[in-house]
């Protein structure tokens, strides 16, 4: 069952299931039913692109919560609640991984994945009750019991929010924090390492390596703040909105109660959405949160690229940083070491930026009461959130924590820079300072040689005024 495109040939490998459209032959030992099988055969698009396990787990959480809420409100028996909850716990524990074969590229509401979960729960409960799969009427009905007080239109966005929130809390934010803390420690450790600055990829005035690193820390600080600010919107759940947001066929108070159960079961501060119409027809919370992920991706692209350029060389380029040597870098050039962690981070950043385009397009297509791009939004969001968290963790472990200054390279560039002449501006003026720099460049002189040769400063004045350590400020 792990290969979702393979359908058994032997008649004995099948059983017959029914839905509102009639009979369907289903693999004999699978817990899914007719609606899942129809989707499995109708959407053979990217057969390995299965619905993420995080979405399936979130579905199990909300189905369990719905069963408890329905029982509290008198529309489901305790016995059925416990049977549904028991299977949900198995799904949450990852015990039925092959029972969810549907691909991302299906109906835009995710209806078939909702029914996939409903059918698996109903049929698995039937077996756990001591019956044979496919024989007799199941005591738990996938629509009337497992899906009670629900619609795919409110369950899928609820699963999206549960999965997205959990991924951010468990993977993304911890990974970013870890990298941020390491870069912060480096900025402190390197606070007195004076180096040349660069603007427009050209020499500029000096700063310290610690100051340079502090800029990266600030970028991650702002990214984390932006991401955390989106969590409140992401915490709103659509469940209880039913088909179009009106809550049709749900008992009074169900939306608040089911959200409370979801919060209890997940340990996350989730709550019912203030406006269910927005929760079904627009997915602005996903767009907003992914926008923060894109911001972090932009920062990571810059940080990783800057660090690898500063480390470029080791002898024939900038060469101001030493990076950890993790693996051979060439199959033909012996001894070559490449900044592979930096390259991985920049590829992740590129993927996240691309995912943001997909999510933006998908989020803008909520026509009337329903957005029908839910699966692709969920998949791209979860990929981005996981990639950023894991890339930050890997980069911190295998690169950032091992960064060290190349003092020889830093000193060479600092002493060779013509832009130290900027320190003379207050004393001899911009025009005279420019003459010194231009003469030094044209005649391959040091700034000192050029300045003294032009008789614009004395040797003593040059020592007093052109001191890189005095040019870096206090930040």
* Annotated binding-site members for substrate: 109-111, 141-144, 151-153, 199, 331, 336-338
Q: Where are the strands (E) in 150-270, listed by range? A: 194-199, 202-208, 236-237
Sole residue written with tokens 């030992």? 29
CA distance 138 to 387: 41
- Quote the DSSP letter at residue 103: B
Structure token digits, residue 126: 């039937």
Q: Confirm if 393 and 179 have CB atoms less than 8 A apart.
A: yes
CA distance 180 to 392: 9
CA distances (Å), origin 425, targets 432, 447, 463: 8, 13, 15
* 3-class secondary structure, 151: coil
Sole residue written with tokens 């993927």? 351
The reply to whether 214 belongs to the active site is: no
- Reported residue count of the chain is 475
Q: Catalytic pick from 330, 364, 394, 450? A: 330
* 3-class secondary structure, 60: helix
The reply to whether 413 belongs to the active site is: no
Q: Confirm if 122 and 96 have CB atoms less than 8 A apart.
A: no
Q: Catalytic pick from 2, 20, 200, 474? A: 200
CA distance 430 to 51: 64
- Compute the radius of gyration of the chain from its Cα atoms: 30
Q: Which residues are catalytic?
A: 200, 330
């Amino acid at each position: 069952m792990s290969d979702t495109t393979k359908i058994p040939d032997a008649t004995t490998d099948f059983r017959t299931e029914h839905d509102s459209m009639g009979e369907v032959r289903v693999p004999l030992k699978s817990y899914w039913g007719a609606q899942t099988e129809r989707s499995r055969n109708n959407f053979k698009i990217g057969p390995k692109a299965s619905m993420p396990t995080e979405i399936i787990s979130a579905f199990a959480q909300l189905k369990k919560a719905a069963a408890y809420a329905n029982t509290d409100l008198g529309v489901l028996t305790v016995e059925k609640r416990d049977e549904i909850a028991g299977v949900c716990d198995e799904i949450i524990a990852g015990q039925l991984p092959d029972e969810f074969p549907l691909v991302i590229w299906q109906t835009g509401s995710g209806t078939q994945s909702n029914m996939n979960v409903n059918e698996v729960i109903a049929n698995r409960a039937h077996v756990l009750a001591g019956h044979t799969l496919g024989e007799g009427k199941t005591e738990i009905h996938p629509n009337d019991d497992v899906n009670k007080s629900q619609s795919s239109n409110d369950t899928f966005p609820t699963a999206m929010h549960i999965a997205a929130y959990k991924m951010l809390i468990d993977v993304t934010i911890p990974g970013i924090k870890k990298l941020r803390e390491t870069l912060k420690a480096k900025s402190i450790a390197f606070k007195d390492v004076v180096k040349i600055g660069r603007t427009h990829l050209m020499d500029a005035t000096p700063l310290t390596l610690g100051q340079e690193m502090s800029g990266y820390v600030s970028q991650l600080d702002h990214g984390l703040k932006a991401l955390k600010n989106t969590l409140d919107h992401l915490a709103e759940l659509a469940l209880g909105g039913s088909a179009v947001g009106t809550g049709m066929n749900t008992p009074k108070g169900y939306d608040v109660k089911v959200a409370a159960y979801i919060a209890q079961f997940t340990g996350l501060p989730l709550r019912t959405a203030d406006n269910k119409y927005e929760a079904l027809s627009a997915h602005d919370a996903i767009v907003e949160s992914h926008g923060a992920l894109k911001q972090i991706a932009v920062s990571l692209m810059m940080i990783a690229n800057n660090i690898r350029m500063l480390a470029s060389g080791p002898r024939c380029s900038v060469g101001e940083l030493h990076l950890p040597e993790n693996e051979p870098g060439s199959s033909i050039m012996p001894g070559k070491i490449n900044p592979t962690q930096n390259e991985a981070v920049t590829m992740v950043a590129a993927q996240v930026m691309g995912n943001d385009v997909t999510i933006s397009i998908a989020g803008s297509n909520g026509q009337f009461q329903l957005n029908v791009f839910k699966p692709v939004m969920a998949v791209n969001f979860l990929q981005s959130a996981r990639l950023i968290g894991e890339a930050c963790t890997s980069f911190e472990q295998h690169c950032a924590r091992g960064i060290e200054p190349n003092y020889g390279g830093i000193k060479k560039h600092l002493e060779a820079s013509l832009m130290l002449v900027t320190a003379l501006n207050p004393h001899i003026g911009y025009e005279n300072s420019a003459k010194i720099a231009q003469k030094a460049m044209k005649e391959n002189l040091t700034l000192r040689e050029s300045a003294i040769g032009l008789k614009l400063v004395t040797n003593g004045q040059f020592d007093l005024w052109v001191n890189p350590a005095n040019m870096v400020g206090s930040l």
